[in-house]
Chain A
Amino acid sequence: MKKMITTVLALMICAGNILAAKIVMEGSTTVLPIAQRAAEEYMDANSSSDITVRGGGSGVGINSLISGTCDIANSSREIKDNELQAAASKKVAPKAFVVAMDGIAVIVNKNNSVSGLSRKQVADIYTGKVTNWQQVGGKNERIVVVSRDSASGTFESFGELALNKQKVVSGALMQASNQAIATTISTTPGAIGYVGLGYVTSSVKSVAIDGVEATVETVLKSRYAYSRPLYMYTNGEPKGETKNFIDFILSEDGQTIVTEEGFVALK
Chain B
Amino acid sequence: MKNKITQFLGFSLMTASVVITLIFLISIIYLIASKGLPVISWEFLTSVPRKGMTAGGVAPAIIGTFYLTVGAIIFALPLGLACAVYLNEYNSKGFAVNIIRMSINNLAGVPSVVFGLFGLAVFVKFFGFGISVLSGSLTLGILILPAVISASQEALMAVPYSIREASFALGATQWQTIRKAVIPSAIPGIMTGVILSIGRAAGETAPILFTAAAFYKRGYPDSIFSEVMALPYHIYALMTEGTKPDQQTVIAYGCALILLVIVLMISSIAIFLRNKYGSSYVN
Contacts and interface: CB of A to CB of B under 8 A. Distances in A.
Nearest to A15: B223
Interface in B214-273: 214-219, 222-227, 237, 239-243, 245-246
Contacts of A203: 245
Interface in A33-79: 33, 36-37, 39-40, 43, 50-55, 69
Given A15-B222, A261-B243, A52 B217 contact: yes
A9 B67 CA distance: 12
A179 B226 CA distance: 28
Contacts of A37: 51-52
Main secondary structure, interface of B, reads: loop
Interface residues on B, range: 20 to 34
Interface residues on A, range: 35 or more
Contacts of B104: none
A36 B237 CA distance: 12
A182 B51 CA distance: 21
A18 B222 contact: yes
Interface in B40-59: 49-53
A69 B211 CA distance: 13
Contact of A201 (B49, B131, B217, B245): B245
A156 to B, nearest CB: 18
Given A40-B50, A261-B52, A51 B218 contact: yes
Interface in A132-190: 176-180, 182-183
Contact of B131 (A43, A50, A54): A54
Contact of A40 (B52, B131, B213): B52
A32 interface: yes
B74 A5 contact: yes
Interface of A: 5, 9, 12-18, 20, 24, 29, 32-33, 36-37, 39-40, 43, 50-55, 69, 176-180, 182-183, 198-199, 201, 203, 260-262
Interface of B: 49-53, 74, 130-131, 213-219, 222-227, 237, 239-243, 245-246
6 contacts: A5-B74, A13-B224, A16-B223, A36-B215, A51-B216, A53-B214
